[in-house]
Structure 1
């Protein structure tokens, strides 16, 4: 089972028994019976993830049946699938959507996070320390703006408790 499929199953456990239904044309109609449009869309996406050479996925389903967090989740799954499971995307991500509730910190947020957790850092101190090679490399750089993950910040905190 692909990792992308596993992530879908975490959100839609009722789909697990339907994963291989695409193997038998007679089972396909039975598998989608009783599912709402969101569940059907994710089931069809799972079928594609599991057997991309024989299964197609109609992107119109994303437009027609998904919105907000479900659309965001589906797009993330697709990107992760092509990057991590097919390896058709071999480059580092050049785009990302950073939202307020994401676990990435800009320079100001990174400084605040460090200060809140016992290290006295201002944005300027983070900037100077970064230029001097005393800060970890950012996990993302988008249009020249650096972002660190919470995990990177926690690791830095652990390594610098006596800083």
Structure 2
């Protein structure tokens, strides 16, 4: 499915590039002093275009899956551990939001958002370790959340590094 989404996004980008080229050749309005455009055409760098690539959608789906599991985990925190539960909710939500925001940014900014998402995922791992250490959950209950976090951190590390290598 990711490949198909990537092809659709590429076709859409090609179509938009043709429209922008058309506007550049035929400015939208004329003034008494000659032809003018309201604003320069939008930046058409590939890093500015939104694409649904396989790696992005896979890491996003892992982050969303962990977010769904984090709610019930946070709800199990007893009285006196509300701050820990709240921190888990916020960190788990931060991961997919930063992935999504980074996907629409230029390369340098994308790296920063992927790094922030990675840090939030590592924070979630530390919080669920704390839940286990406090006896709030068993190790067996944390197998799936840990696997999702491990996959997410691994993919985000590769994405951040690929953005660095692409920017050189």
Structure with the higher fraction of residues in helix conformation: 2
TM-score (norm 2): 0.29
TM-score (norm 1): 0.29
